[in-house]
Structure 1
C-alpha cells in the first residue's frame, strides 16, 4: 500500500503514453520522455504545471510522440519521486496489478 504524502504542497508532472509502444512515459525537464517517473520534470505552481502540459501537448499534436498527456500529482520521498494516486502509481510501476494471460509467452515466428 502506498504511503500517502502530505498534500499541502502539491507537485505535478506530466504523463502520457508513447505512440511507439503504448507504454507509460513521463516528460523530463530536458523535453524528452522517459519511462522512469524519477526523471519527470516537476512543477510546483499551477503556472509551471500548465507550461509543462502545454509543451507535452505539442508532442502529442505536432510531433505525435505521445497520446493523451495529462498532469498527475507527485511527491518527493526518500525513495525518489512517486505518484500520489493509486492509478498513477500502478502506471508508474509498469502495471498491471494482475497476471495477463500469455504476457510472458513468446510469440512463435
Structure 2
C-alpha cells in the first residue's frame, strides 16, 4: 500500500467520524472530507446511510476490534495536545512528519 493511500484512509476515517451526532463525537474536523479525492468522498457519502454506516462499522469492529475507537481517541489526543501547546506555550507552527 502506498503512503498516500494510508493518509487518504485516515482522512476518510476522520470524515466518517464527523458523521456521528455532535454530542457523541470525540473530535471536530470540518476539512477532512473536503480534502478527499472523489472516490473517498463517494465512500463517505455512502456512509451517510445509517444502514451502511452500521454494517461497515460493525464489520470493521469485528475484523479489527478496537482499532476505529483507538484511532478516534488518537485524533482527539493530538488535537488536545496541539490546542494546549498553542494556548499555553505559544506554539506557532507544526511539522507533521506522518501521513496520518
**TM range, smaller chain:** under 0.3
Q: Comparing both structures, which one devotes a greater share of its residues to helix? A: 2
Q: Comparing both structures, which one devotes a greater share of its residues to strand? A: 1
Does 1 or 2 have the higher relative contact order (CA < 8 Å, sep 6+)? 2
